[in-house]
Structure formats: C-alpha cells, structure tokens
Amino acid sequence: MNPPTFEGQYEPTKASEWLFGMEDMLEDLECTPAEKVTFATRFFRGAASNWWHGTKEY
C-alpha cells in the first residue's frame, strides 16, 4: 500500500484524484469515519498540513 500525499493543490482535478484514491484505500481497510479522518490527514503535506494543524481543536 502506498497512500498518496496531498499538498493542498489549487487544481480541483488533483484534489479529486487524491480524495478518490484515499477513499478507495480506506474503504478496503474498513475504517470507521473517525479512523478515515485520522489516517487521511497524516498524508497532508505543505499547505494542507499547515491548514489542518491550524483548524484542529485542542
């Protein structure tokens, strides 16, 4: 398994490709919704990672 990373591209096609790829992989793993969020956000990079860390509630 080689999960894709997401850097917060502003190209809708690239964002959709990442999302669909991640959704397919997480469905195969039979993750709960909370596990999907935790797992998927681990593969955010750059601007996407900065955004995610800025929106998390502590």
pLDDT tens digits, residue range 7-24? 887 889 988 989 999 999
In a domain, 4, yes or no: no
Number of domains forming the structure of the chain: 1
What is the maximum span of the chain, computed from C-alpha positions, in angstroms?
32
Note the pLDDT of residue 2: 79
Which residue segment(s) compose the domain that 35 sits in?
Answer: 12-55
In a domain, 21, yes or no: yes
Q: Which two tokens stand for residue 57?
A: 């509630």
Find out whether 26 and 36 touch, Cβ atoms under 8 Å: yes
In a domain, 16, yes or no: yes
In a domain, 25, yes or no: yes
In a domain, 5, yes or no: no
- Alpha-helical runs (H) found in 1-58: 12-28, 33-41, 46-55
In a domain, 49, yes or no: yes
Find out whether 8 and 51 touch, Cβ atoms under 8 Å: yes
Kindly report, residue by residue over 22-47, the tens digit of the pLDDT. 999 999 999 999 999 999 999 999 99
Name the pLDDT band for 50 (thresholds 50, 70, 90): very high
Note the pLDDT of residue 41: 92
